[in-house]
Amino acid sequence: MAIDRRVQEFPIVSKLDPEVYGPPESALTKELLESQIVESVTVEEAMAQRRLFILDYHDVFLPYVHRVRERPETTLYGSRTVFFLTGAGTLSPLAIELARPQSPTRPQWRRAFVHGPDATASWLWKLAKAHVLSHDTGYHQLVSHWLRTHCCVEPYIIAANRQLSRMHPVHRLLHPHFRYTMEINALARESLINADGIIEESFWPGRYAMELSSVAYAATWRFDAEALPEDLVRRGLAVRQEDGERELTIKDYPYANDGLLVWNSIMQWASDYIDFYYKSDEEVACDEEVRAWWEEVRTKGHADKKDAPWWPAVDTRDGLIGVLTTIMWVTSGHHAAVNFGQYHYGGDFPNRPTVMRKNMPVEENKEEVMKKFMEMPEHVLLDTMPSKMQAITIMATLDILSSHSPDEEYMGEHAEPAWLAEPRVKAAFERFAGRMKEIEGIVDERNNDPELRNRCGAGIVPYELLKPFSTPGVTGRGIPNSISI
C-alpha cells in the first residue's frame, strides 16, 4: 500500500487478485508516459535518474469501489497518477489512471487520462484530477492525519501513565507532547469519526472510514518508519548514501527540507537530555520503568505487530534517543504539517473535494450523460463536486481543525519546571529554543528564494507549515508540542 513514492518498478502492475478485480496490468503504459514527457528521456532513463513519481490509490481503494458506490450521490475509483520531475525541480503530472473493478455483471473498466490537445480531453483531464484530489483528501484525513498522529500516539500516552513515574525523566520529557491528546481524540470519536458523523457524511469513504484507516494501519504502519528520515527513504524520496547520509531525490521538497531541520533539532535536544540522565548504555538497559513502558507500547498498544522485527530496542542511549525523537516528531512536526494547513488548502472545496458524486461521463458513454458533458462540461464538474451542505460542513470543520488556541504551547517556547531546575538541562533546552527560532528565519529565506519554485513564485503558496511559532487563529504555521486539536 505504498502511496506517494518514487517509481522503482515498471510496468506498473496491481497486486490484487485478478480473479476478483480483473486484469492487473495498468493503463499507464510506457508509450503513453513517454508521449507526455516533454524532455527526451525514456521511462527507463527517467527511473534511473530518479525523476518518476507516483501517487498510487489503486490497490488500496479498488476493494471499496462497489461498496462505496452503493451510497447515494457518491462514487469512487482506484487511481494512479504519475509525475515527472522537470529540470526546474518541479513535478509535472503526466497521466492519471482511473479504474473500476469487475463485478458479477460488468467487466473491469480502466482508462488513462492526459493533458488533451482539444477541449473534450482537457475537460476529462480536469474531472480526472478532481477524482484523484478527492482520493488524496480522504486518505490524508483518515491515514496521514487521524491514524498516524492522533490514533497511534495513544499507546505511548497510556503506557507512559501506567509504567513511568511522573518524576521519571522520560515522563517529564514526553509530558508536554501528550497534552490534551486523549481529550481531543475522545471528542473526535463523539462527533467527527463516529457513525453518521462529519467524516462519514461528507467524505467519500462513508461508513467504511474507520475500516479503511484500520486496513492502512495493518498494511503500512511500522514504528521505525514514523521517523522522518526513514519515511523518506522508504518512499524513495531520499536515498541513503555510503556514508550514512540521506540525499533527497527532489531537492526542493519543502516538507522534507523544513522537516529535517525540525527533526534534527528535536534529536539534538533529546540527545542532550538523555545524556544528562544516563551516563552509560548500561543505565538505560537497567531502567525497569523504561523497559516496562516500551514493552507495553509494543505488546499491548500494538499487540498485532508485537513480534515484528522492525521494533527498535531501548537498551542503549542511542536507541532510547531514537524512540523519543520519533514520538516527539509525530506529536509535533508531523501533526503540524498534516493539520494546520487544512483550511488553507481545503477550505476552497474545489481544490480539495472530499467526495465525488458522479462517475466519469465516459465510463458508460451513456448518450444523455455524454450530451450534457459536451454541452456544459463546467456544470458536470460542479455537479460532481460535493453538495453545498457537504462543502459548508467541511469548510467549517477545517477552519476549526486548523485553528491555534490562545494558550497553544509551541516547540521550544516553554520549559518545564523540572528542566529549569537542572542547569545543564536548562542550557540544553535554551539551545533547542534557539535552534527553533533559527528555523523560523531559514523558512522565511527559503520562501523568498526564486530558485525554489515549489515554494516561491507567482501563485505559489509559501510553505510555512513547519515554521515553529504562530499567533492564535488560522495561520497555516506553528508547531505545537502536542496533538491538541
pLDDT in tens, 251-272: 999 999 999 999 999 999 999 9
Contacts 24+ apart (CB under 8 A), 192-198: 192/397, 193/146, 198/393, 198/394, 198/397
| Residue 403 β-bridge partners | 474
Distance CA 53, CA 42 (A): 14
Per-residue pLDDT, 78 = 98
Per-residue pLDDT, 241 = 85
Q: Enter the C-alpha cell of residue 427.
A: 542550557
The number of angstroms, rounded, from the C-alpha of 25 to the middle of its chain's C-alpha atoms is 27
Which residue of the set 58, 131, 335, 404 is catalytic?
Answer: 335
Per-residue pLDDT, 2 = 47
* Amino acid letter for position 305: K
* Residues 6 or more apart in contact with residue 448 via CB below 8 angstroms: 456
Residue range 295-351, pLDDT digits in tens: 999 999 999 999 999 999 999 999 999 999 999 999 999 999 999 999 999 999 899
* Residues 6 or more apart in contact with residue 365 via CB below 8 angstroms: none
- Told to judge if 3 belongs to the known catalytic residues of this protein, a careful annotator would answer no
The number of angstroms, rounded, from the C-alpha of 27 to the middle of its chain's C-alpha atoms is 26
Per-residue pLDDT, 1 = 41
- From first CA to last CA, the distance across the chain in angstroms is 28
- Angstrom distances, CA of residue 174 to CA of 103, 179, 468: 50, 9, 18
- Told to judge if 257 belongs to the known catalytic residues of this protein, a careful annotator would answer no
pLDDT, mean over the chain: 96
Q: For 143, which DSSP code?
A: I
Residue range 428-471, pLDDT digits in tens: 999 999 999 999 999 999 999 999 999 999 999 999 999 999 99
Which residue of the set 199, 250, 439, 485 is catalytic?
Answer: 485
Which residue of the set 339, 359, 447, 454 is catalytic?
Answer: 339
Half-sphere exposure of 348 (CA within 13 A, CB side): 5
Residue range 4-48, pLDDT digits in tens: 999 999 999 999 999 999 999 999 999 999 999 988 899 999 999
Distance CA 260, CA 337 (A): 12
Residue range 406-429, pLDDT digits in tens: 999 999 999 999 999 999 999 999
Average pLDDT over residues 186-191: 95
Which residue of the set 145, 168, 344, 404 is catalytic?
Answer: 145
Distance CA 375, CA 395 (A): 30
Distance CA 182, CA 173 (A): 18
- Told to judge if 485 belongs to the known catalytic residues of this protein, a careful annotator would answer yes
Residue range 201-251, pLDDT digits in tens: 999 999 999 999 999 999 999 999 999 999 999 999 999 988 778 899 999
Which residue of the set 131, 150, 168, 177 is catalytic?
Answer: 150
Per-residue pLDDT, 3 = 62
Average pLDDT over residues 359-369: 94
